[in-house]
Each structure stands twice: as structure tokens, then as C-alpha cells.
């Protein structure tokens, strides 16, 4: 006997305390907010407003809106000759298949933003009071998407169906203290106005995955370019926890090597790299100038002492990827080496001796590894980027 199919759905009515954007009351709030200067971010965001492409893609859909509104160039092809963010381009930190199955957390959202060319600061109601949230709302909606403001909240706390959800903030009406949420699940609810204290309260229920409250993220175009060579993703069954555990195995490999034998330490570390639950993949680039810069970066990387030492040992990983990962690992890992070996290795890692393009690329990967490690340890990484 086969199960009856689930009933099909077409939108839901908004709870009474929420005001539909296109309703007469919603239009009146829009007019009042615009007169008060609280709709400046609305117009850049509405130009890029996008319905999430999958029921679990509210975080990805929201990030697509924000990145395109901020004018972040992905440097990669979307379709045909066009470069534009869509969900399938958000391919770092975690596999899209995993996001489709379980969505993303607030810190995963920030990780994805950072590795795609934005800076991201994460705030939670357990560390930021209502007045601080209101001040952030005023600042974001009173400027043309600088920053873009994203909220993550529990729908159930607002009387909606569902649990965790992401959407951008599009406006603020100060007299009534209402916030415009540009809901990316347009198949479910239209954009709507929410009393600001109610939205703040809806961030406080803990996410069952992280055990922490949800919150809000401010996004800006990063002054640092996105990676030109590699992007990292956690892969395998264990997720971020397995990655954090693998970093500890790396530390153990260094501790277990002869303290005064740098070559033995490198052999031990390079033996661990293939077992990391990490995909370090070459980033496809659409622009000729980016491809040229990438080749110049590879050439500079191959000229470093670190690359020469790694290549001589014949690693299982491509020598360029292995060398860049070693450059990106936390310097404190090498404290376990004996003084002479540590000095020799740290000299090879010395930023002052590295070409600037190699330093920048290693720093980009280092920030992403910090995000992934923090996710695996269940820690916040509010300002990793």
C-alpha cells in the first residue's frame, strides 16, 4: 500500500501581527519609512530580490540577494558569458547537497559570505541588546546597502509555520518601530513588516543544531579579493566536527615527529593531508586578467622555500595545494618543533619573505580554515573575516 501524496501548497496567510508589504497598511508603512529615511537600502536590494531556489536554500537565496546588491563580482561564470551570483556558485565551506538536506546555520552563512568576497560580522541577541539591534537596523536601512543586513530567526516565534529562516532587511519605519523583511520564500509568505521587538524576540530561541540563538549579520564588500587559486569545503560524513578532529591529528603528527628533524615533520604532516575531510579545489575563473593573476600567483608560490621543500617530498596532494595549506595553517602548530627546526621552518613561513600575492592567498585560506575549525568546535567566529 502506497502512502498518500502530501497535499500541494500555495502560500500561507500572514499572522495578524505581521503586515503584508503590498497591503494598504504595508504601503502606508513604506511611505512613512521612506519619508523618515529608512528605505535607502530597499532599492538596491529590491533590484536583486530573488526567490530561494530550494526549500532549504533560504540562507543561500538571501546571500545571493545581498552579494548582488553589494556589487560583489564573483569572477566566475554563471551562464553563458555572464558573471552573477546564484545559489550554485556558493560552493565553498559545505557541499550544496548538504545544504539542500539540512540548511545552514548563522555561522555557516557568514563562512559562505566571507569565501565569496564579502566581510561578515555576526551578532546574537544573547550578546547584543534590543537597542543595539535597533541601531544596526537604522544604520543599515538609512544607507544604500552599506552594510547589507540579514536576519536569521525562528518563524514559529512569529506565528508562522516552519522554524529557522534567513532573509534580508529592506526597511525601517521608526514611528511604529516596524522592520521590512524581504522574505526570500515568496512561495510561502510575501515581504512583510514585523514589529522590531517581535523580530528581536524571534532570534532568541536556540537553533537545535548549534545550541545557540540565531541573530543577524552585517555584510560589506570585502577589501580583500576572493581567492584566486583554491577554495575549501568540508566533505565526508563527519562534517565540520571531523575537520576539527583532523586538525588535532595534524597537531599530533607534528608532536609525534622527531622534534629536531624538520624533514621528518613535513613527511608526517604531508601523510595526514590526504586524510583530511577537506576538498581544496582550484577555483574556476572567468576573467582573463584573473587567470593571468592566478598564473602569476602560482609562479610566485612555486618560488617559495615552502613549495621547494614540499615538492621534494612528493606529496599525495598537488604540491601547490599542499604548500599553500601549510602556509595557511596556524603558526602555533609549529611550536612543538625543536628550536632549530622551528626556526628553520618559521623562516620559510616568514610573511616578510613571501611575495605579497602569496601572503594574500594564504591569508584568505587561513581565514576560511579558521571559520571551518570554529564551526567544528561549536564556537562562534564572529570576526574571522
So which residues are the catalytic ones?
58, 165, 183
Find the angle CA(171)-CA(173)-CA(174) to the nearest 5 degrees.
Answer: 130
Query: Alpha carbon of 263 to those of 242, 253, 259, 368: distances in Å?
Result: 27, 13, 10, 27
Q: Residues near 129 by Cβ (< 8 Å), separated by ≥ 6?
A: none
Q: What is the DSSP string of 80-109?
A: TTB----GGG--SBS-HHHHHHH---HHHH
Q: How far apart are the C-alpha atoms of 91 and 63, rounded to whole Å?
A: 12
Q: How far apart are the C-alpha atoms of 304 and 343, rounded to whole Å?
A: 16
Instruction: Answer for the pair 324, 364: CB distance below 8 angstroms, yes or no.
Output: no
Q: What is the DSSP string of 265-319?
A: HHHHHHHHGGGSSEEEEEPP---HHHHHHHHHHHHHHHTSHHHHHHHHT--SS-H
Name which of 139, 137, 183, 138 is nearest 158 in CA terms: 183
| Dihedral Cα 81, 290, 278, 331, nearest 10 deg | -160
Q: Which alpha helices (DSSP H) does the chain contain, by range?
A: 24-35, 42-47, 58-70, 96-102, 106-114, 130-141, 196-202, 239-256, 262-272, 288-302, 305-312, 319-328, 339-349, 356-377
| Dihedral Cα 206, 366, 298, 77, nearest 10 deg | 20
Q: 121 is written with which cell numbers? A: 560580522
Amino acid at each position: 500500500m502506497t502512502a498518500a501524496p502530501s497535499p500541494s501548497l500555495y502560500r500561507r496567510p500572514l499572522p495578524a501581527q505581521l503586515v503584508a508589504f503590498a497591503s494598504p497598511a504595508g504601503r502606508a508603512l513604506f511611505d512613512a519609512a521612506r519619508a523618515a529615511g529608512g528605505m535607502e537600502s530597499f532599492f538596491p536590494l529590491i533590484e536583486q530580490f530573488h526567490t530561494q531556489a530550494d526549500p532549504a536554500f533560504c540562507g543561500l537565496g538571501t546571500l545571493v540577494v545581498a552579494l548582488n546588491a553589494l556589487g560583489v563580482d564573483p569572477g566566475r561564470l554563471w551562464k553563458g558569458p555572464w558573471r552573477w551570483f546564484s545559489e550554485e556558485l556558493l560552493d565553498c565551506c559545505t557541499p550544496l547537497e548538504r545544504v539542500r538536506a539540512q540548511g545552514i546555520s548563522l555561522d555557516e552563512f557568514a563562512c559562505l559570505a566571507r569565501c565569496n568576497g564579502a566581510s561578515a560580522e555576526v551578532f546574537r541577541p544573547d550578546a547584543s541588546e534590543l537597542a543595539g539591534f535597533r541601531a544596526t537596523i537604522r544604520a543599515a536601512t538609512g544607507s544604500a546597502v552599506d552594510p547589507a543586513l540579514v536576519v536569521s530567526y525562528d518563524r514559529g516565534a512569529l506565528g508562522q509555520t516552519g522554524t529557522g529562516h534567513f532573509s534580508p532587511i529592506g526597511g525601517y519605519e521608526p514611528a511604529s518601530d516596524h522592520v521590512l523583511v524581504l522574505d526570500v520564500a515568496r512561495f510561502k509568505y510575501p515581504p512583510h513588516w514585523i514589529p522590531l521587538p517581535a523580530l528581536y524576540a524571534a532570534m532568541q530561541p536556540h537553533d537545535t543544531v548549534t545550541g545557540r540563538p540565531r541573530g543577524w549579520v552585517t555584510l560589506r564588500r570585502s577589501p580583500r579579493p576572493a581567492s584566486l587559486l583554491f577554495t575549501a569545503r568540508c566533505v565526508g560524513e563527519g562534517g565540520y566536527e571531523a575537520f576539527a578532529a583532523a586538525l588535532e591529528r595534524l597537531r599530533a603528527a607534528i608532536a609525534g615527529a622527531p622534534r629536531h628533524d624538520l624533514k621528518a615533520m613535513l613527511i608526517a604532516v604531508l601523510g595526514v593531508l590526504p586524510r583530511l575531510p577537506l576538498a581544496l579545489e582550484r577555483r574556476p575563473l572567468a576573467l582573463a586578467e584573473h587567470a593571468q593573476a592566478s598564473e602569476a600567483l602560482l609562479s610566485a608560490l612555486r618560488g617559495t622555500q615552502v613549495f621547494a621543500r614540499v615538492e621534494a617530498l612528493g606529496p599525495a596532494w598537488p604540491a601547490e595545494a599542499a604548500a599553500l595549506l601549510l602556509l595557511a595553517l596556524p603558526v602555533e602548530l609549529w611550536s612543538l618543533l625543536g628550536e632549530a627546526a622551528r626556526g628553520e621552518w618559521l623562516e620559510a613561513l616568514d610573511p616578510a619573505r613571501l611575495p605579497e600575492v602569496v601572503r594574500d592567498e594564504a591569508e584568505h585560506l587561513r581565514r576560511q580554515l579558521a571559520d571551518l575549525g570554529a564551526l567544528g568546535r561549536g564556537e562562534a567566529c564572529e570576526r574571522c573575516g
